[in-house]
Amino acid sequence: MHAIAEFTIIPIGVGVSLSKYVAACEGVLEKSGLLYELHANGTNLEGEWDEVMQAIKSCHEKLHEMGAPRISTIIKMGTRTDREQKMAEKTASVRAKLKSSDSH
């Protein structure tokens, strides 16, 4: 089951600056081989359901190792059986609609 996902990982109890932890998680994703993309409030990634979930779990393990005593993560998981879809197509599809409405 292919999934298009997004997640935001929040280490709790390590102070107010979280970018070091987000960077460590990006390192984990890089090693995972999955397609991923950092944005201002989280990270998009796609792949097989189990691989996506394993990558997010590895981020939790990594951040706990770095000393985060508590972690709260928000995950969006999208799956579909009607057709294959890639992450890049989702924004492309919206942008095509925007463009066509501009021309009217």
Distance CA 95, CA 104 (A): 15
What are the residues binding its own copies (CB under 8 A)?
1, 4-6, 8, 10, 12-13, 15-16, 18-20, 22-23, 26-27, 37-42, 44, 49-50, 53, 56-57, 60-61, 64, 68-82, 87-88, 90-91, 93-98, 101
CB of 99 to its own copies, least distance (A): 9
Instruction: Say if strands 35-39 and 2-12 run parallel, antiparallel, or are unpaired.
Output: unpaired
Nearer to its own copies, 32 or 44 (CB): 44
Sign of CA dihedral 53, 54, 57, 58: negative
